[in-house]
Amino acid sequence: MRRGFTLVETLISLAIIGAVATALGLYGISVSSARAKAMVTSEVQSNARFALDLIQREIRSAANANVSALDRLELDSAATVIDLDAGRLRITKGASSNYVTASDVRLTILRFTNLADPMSIRENIKIEMTVEYTGDNPYSYSIISAQSVRQ
């Protein structure tokens, strides 16, 4: 009686083990890729949502608003200024400046437009922004947001 495996049995078992290992490896890469894409999407969306909410709150609490340039909004006679600094959203109140967006997220477009009727005493500011991910993740994602805020 012979003991051991034949060459054909060994090759078949190696092929099955190789196929299973390859499938597991591809599955792991796929999961890692999906996680990275979800992280980028989440980061951009949360930064855009937070920035829009904060700008809306600032506009609503201000007594007056002045769009001095497309990417610069002055509130309460320039006591508060909302603008871009090297692709990051910045809010300046008096002498203190705070960045609103994360360092790995960049605003490529920030536009303020006053949509108020000249006969109206209330301001209606339209905010447009394009936010994109610039971190070290190989996936890119951008979002375009527009919101109109009545003061």
Q: What is the pLDDT of residue 23?
A: 97
How many percent of the chain have pLDDT more than 90?
A: 43
Query: Model-level pTM greater than 0.75?
Result: yes
Instruction: For residue range 91-129, list pLDDT tens digits in order.
Output: 999 889 999 998 889 998 899 988 877 666 667 888 999
Q: Where are the domains of the chain?
A: 7-150
**pLDDT (tens digit per residue) in 30-44:** 999 999 899 999 999
Question: What pLDDT does 151 receive?
Answer: 59
- Contact, 68 vs 74, CB < 8 A? yes
- pLDDT tens track for 95-104: 899 999 988 8
- Do the beta carbons of residue 114 and residue 124 sit within 8 Å? yes
CA quadruple 64, 69, 73, 79: dihedral sign: negative
Q: What is the pLDDT of residue 97?
A: 92
Farthest CA pair distance, the chain: 105
Q: Compute the distance between CA of residue 58 and CA of residue 114 in angstroms, rounded to an integer.
A: 15
End-to-end alpha carbon distance in the chain: 93
